[in-house]
Structures are given as structure tokens and as C-alpha cells.
Amino acid sequence: MAASVYDVIVVGAGSVGTPAAMYLAEKGLKVLCLDQFASPGQGSNKAAIGGLRATHSAPAKIKLCLDSLKTFSTWKEKHGFDLEWFQGGYLFMAYRPEEEKVLKDLLVIQKKAGLNIDWYGKDDLLKIVPGMKEEGLIGGTFSPEDGSASPMLSNCAFHQRAVELGVDFRFNERVTNIMRRKGTVVGVRTDKGGYATSCVVNAAGAWARALAQAGGLDVPVNPDCHEACITEPAQRFLRPMLVDIRKTPGAANYYFHQAHTGQVISCFTPEPPMLGTDRRETSEFLPMIASRMVKLMPKLANLKVRRTWRGLYPMTPDGSPIVGQSKTLDGYVDAVGMCGQGYMLGPGVGALVSRIVTNSLNKDDGEILHELRPDREFAGTEALK
């Protein structure tokens, strides 16, 4: 029996792979999406806390996330599926001169890239977020067009749309080999069979490196672990995502927002990083983040925490994604290393992947692809990663 033949095989049905499959199908291609888990979004997508921002320090990420925000903010109107989109904005505050300088310096890059963002003084910030700690507050940046949505509902919506467009999804199926002949992709082999194709998109998230190696390649994506928590629901009292970039023992930053359904969801970036794929939550996380959150906003002390969990951030050495075609294996495309921002980058990256595969790049794509190219030198780090 001959193997099934597809124009494109996307590996990974998560934050990047599912919208990529959807956009590829919109362009008329026959698409297969493979995932090692039982259903869409069961890798790192289900651990996301729902924040959606274009407020980055790298121009490529800003442009991709602006594209993503258009998708999230208009999805219900276009497709009738409620993603729990809430446009509350993102607020980065400064309580010390060093954070003030970082945020003000970044404004130049952010505004040049088209972001609607400005610096606000203490009094104006307190109007946006009443109840935030006043002592020592200098000011901060606020981007009102950022927001949040439900990762679960979003992935469900993208999957539903992709299926309507004819995408085949196969779950509980792990890719064991990317088959190639004379430097060109000719198919994939899985633990359940094989499929012929001339194009493979690596959107495997935290498992991207193993997939690249299955094709005789490598990609510098190594997962680290981040924990999060969610409270009981409360009446809306907080609109933006609050981000505190002050480093403290154990954490490089922390951030939290109130979801569309009323719960407060929070996360921080461990310092030093917790490398590996262990997704078991720890007892140290909640006391550490709860203390910082209550100091910043005392009213949070009245909320009960319902659950904690841990997810994986597929990290690159410089904190930026790796997107583009391989120079050594024709037909292989990377869409990996989202560094914990796959949910907000997903639709933008997915649409870009569809343009790469169909040779229909737009005027901004060249600059983005140069910045995120797989063979770049991984120097420096993204300031707001």
C-alpha cells in the first residue's frame, strides 16, 4: 500500500503548528498535521497563561505579534467563535531608575515598529491600575492594544477552522524520521507508518530539537520550566497584564493578569533557568510569586489560589524564535524556539510559514526572516523575553 502524499506535513498541533496548518490549507495546499499527544494543544499550549502582546524589544517579534493580535481580536467577528479576547493592554512598571531606563530606551524601537505605546507617569499609571503600590513608583509603559484570550479556546478554534479547510490531523503519532533523498525532504516516518511529502514544517515546540535531529539537522532549542498559578474568580478589578521586570533572588521578572472569566493568572521567569522537561510543579513557586504580587497589589491577598502547574519554554540562546528554510535540507522549514511566547506569536508565525512554503512573501517578510534566520549568530538576548 502506497504512503499517503501531502503537499506539507506540519509536526506539532500547538500554538504555532495548528495556525500554520490552517493558513497553509487556506492557500489551497493538502496538509497533514502530526502530534505526539492525544489532541491539539496538549504540549506547551495548555500551560500558557493567555497573555497576547506585541510589546517586545525585537522588531521581528513586534511585527509578528501585531499580525497575531489582528487574528485574535477579529476572530469572533469573522468566524463566530469566542476566544475570550479581552483588550486590557500590557503595563510594564518601573520602581527603580534602571528599569525606567530600560523601558524608555525600548520605546524608540517599539514606536518605530508601529506599536501604540507610551510612557506614563506615576499618577497616570495609578488611574489605569488603582490599588497598585504607590511608594517608589516612577512610571511605566502602557500598550492599550495588547490583551489576552483563552489558549484552550484559541487552539480549538484554529483546529476547527483547519479541519473545515481540509487539514488531516493525526494524534498520538510521533515522528521518528524525516526521510530525505539527495538533500531534499521526501517524507516522514512515524511510530505508526509513513507519509510522502516534499515539505516538513518543524513546529514541535519543546521537542523541536529531537525532530530536527530526526532529519539529520540540529537546532539550538532547549526547554526550560516555568510555573504558573490561577486564583478563584473575582469581579473585574484589573484590566492590563502587569509586568514587573525587577530581578529578585529566584526570579528574573513576574507578571499577572485577570482573565476574561475573572481569575488572576500569574507566572515568573526563574533565575537561574530550570532546564529540562520536568512538568511537575514545585512547593517553592507559590510562596515566592504570591509574596511579590501582594506587595505590588495588596488586595490580591484576599484571593484563594486554586491550582499551580508547570509548562515548558522552548528557549533559544538569544531569546528570539528560529523561523525559515534550511540551507542544507530542501523542503525543511523551522518554526521553533518561541521562548514561551508561542501563543502570542503563533498566528503571525503560522501565516509567515504559509507564505514561505508558497513563495508569496510580502514586503516585511524579508526583514523578519533575516532577523530570525536559522543560521544566524546567536548573540545578545531579547530585552523583554
**Confidence check: pLDDT of 385 > 90:** no
Amino acid at 340: G
**Whole-number average pLDDT of the chain:** 96
pLDDT band, very low/low/confident/very high, at 379 (cuts 50, 70, 90) = confident
pLDDT digits (tens, 9 = 90+) for 260-302: 999 999 999 999 999 999 999 999 999 999 999 999 999 999 9
> b vs e for 313-329, b when ≥16 Cβ sit within 10 Å of the residue's Cβ?
bbbbebbbbbbbbbeeb
User: Sheet holding 241-244: strands in order across?
Assistant: 118-121, 139-143, 90-94, 241-244, 250-258, 263-271, 222-233, 305-315
The confidence score (pLDDT) of residue 1 equals 36
- Hey, what domains does the chain have and what are their CATH numbers? 4-50+152-220+318-372 (3.50.50.60), 86-146+222-315 (3.30.9.10)
Percent of the chain's residues with pLDDT above 70: 98
Q: Would you call 250 helix, strand, or coil by DSSP?
A: strand
**Confidence check: pLDDT of 4 > 90:** no
The confidence score (pLDDT) of residue 77 equals 97
Query: Would strands 90-94 and 322-325 be described as parallel, antiparallel, or unpaired?
Result: unpaired
Phi first, then psi: give them for residue 335, nearest 5 degrees.
-140, 70
Amino acid at 202: N
pLDDT digits (tens, 9 = 90+) for 222-267: 999 999 999 999 999 999 999 999 998 899 999 999 999 999 999 9
**Would the pTM of this model clear 0.85, i.e. be above it?**
yes
pLDDT digits (tens, 9 = 90+) for 118-146: 999 999 999 999 999 999 999 999 999 99
H helices of the chain, in order, are 17-26, 59-79, 97-112, 122-128, 151-164, 208-213, 285-296, 342-357, 365-372
pLDDT digits (tens, 9 = 90+) for 9-37: 999 999 999 999 999 999 999 999 999 99
Across 281-285, 326-330, 375-379, which has the greatest mean pLDDT?
326-330
Lowest mean pLDDT among 178-187, 276-285, 308-317: 276-285
The confidence score (pLDDT) of residue 346 equals 98
